[in-house]
Amino acid sequence: MLILAIDTSAVASAALVSSEAPGSVLASFSTEDTRSHAEVLAPGIEEMLAGAGVTGKDIDALVVGVGPGPFTGLRSGIATARTLAFVWGKPLHGLVSLDAMALEVAESAAAVPEFLVATDARRKEVYWARYSLAEGRLPVLEDGPHVSFAADLPDLPAFGAGAGLYADALNAHPDFAQEQPDALYLGKFALARLVAGNALLDSTPLYLRESDAQVPGPRKRAL
């Protein structure tokens, strides 16, 4: 099974993961930048496919990180994934973007049985979720995702750039203080679940916040 994974919940990243490839990963790319997704994502995917000698025909499914993440960036990945899936006629699945980092934690030496993943939600808040981890299993999402002030999170080891940003309020793991969700782990997570016959989400974005629009009140009368 060959999957194209895309995530733009923080940085722009994409990966080709395959159940036949060693370590599951065929190719991947990611950017440092969190604000130029519309420019870099499509060329990155095109070059990655060409470099791996893969075309749309070879791909069995697509998976996209549905956030949470800053809205405009998040949409660039979902718009891209939905369009590719439509043109290629392939199934598209969604996965909580924080799951990607949960798997990265699980595969690292820093793994603990219960932990938080947090990313920057701007406006002094973080997007976060709580995970549990059992030996030899995929991480399990226990609570979230939510958007909150760092000070209001449960007191557990916290992983990710959102934790690093508020290291004074959170028990941030130093090795993960700048980590962002990456399509590489998102793809591996999706592959493991799909191969095991487990369902994933659809590609509906997890905005977690309403648009800032205010319904205008009645006009003040001049009296």
Partner 1 sequence: MNRTQPLVLGIESSCDETGVGIVRGTTLLTNTVSSSMDEHVRFGGVIPEIASRAHLDAFVPTLEQALADAGVALDDVDAIAVTSGPGLAGALMVGVCAAKALAVATGKPLYAINHLVAHVGVGLLDRKGSGQGTGTAPQLPENLGALLVSGGHTEILRINSITDDVQLLGSTIDDAAGEAYDKVARILGLGYPGGPAIDKVARTGNPKSIRFPRGLSQPKYMGTVEEPGKHRYDWSFSGLKTAVARCVEQFEARGEEIPVADIAAAFQEAVVDIISSKAVLACREHGIKDVLLGGGVAANSRLRELTGQRCASAGIRLHVPPLDLCTDNGAMVAALGAQLVMAGVEPSGIRFAPDSSMPVTSVSLPA
C-alpha to C-alpha distance for 105 and 115, rounded to whole angstroms = 9
Interface with partner 1, residue 79, by CB under 8 A: yes
Tell me whether residue 49 or residue 105 sits nearer to partner 1 (CB atom).
49
Contact 59, 81 (CB under 8 A): no
C-alpha to C-alpha distance for 51 and 53, rounded to whole angstroms = 6
Distance between terminal CA atoms of the chain? 71
Helix H or strand E segment including 143: strand 140-148
Interface with partner 1, residue 193, by CB under 8 A: no
Tell me whether residue 145 or residue 157 sits nearer to partner 1 (CB atom).
145
Interface with partner 1, residue 214, by CB under 8 A: yes
Looking at 18, 24, 34, 76, which residue binds partner 1 (CB under 8 A)?
76
Interface with partner 1, residue 30, by CB under 8 A: no
Residue ranges in 5-67 assigned as alpha helix (H): 37-52
Residue 147: phi, psi to the nearest 5?
-125, 125
Tell me whether residue 49 or residue 163 sits nearer to partner 1 (CB atom).
49
Tell me whether residue 77 or residue 187 sits nearer to partner 1 (CB atom).
77
Q: Is the peptide bond before 68 cis (omega within 30 degrees of 0)?
A: yes
Looking at 72, 108, 178, 198, which residue binds partner 1 (CB under 8 A)?
72
Binding site for partner 1 (CB under 8 A): 36-43, 45-46, 49, 56, 71-72, 75-84, 86-88, 205, 207, 211-216, 219, 221-223
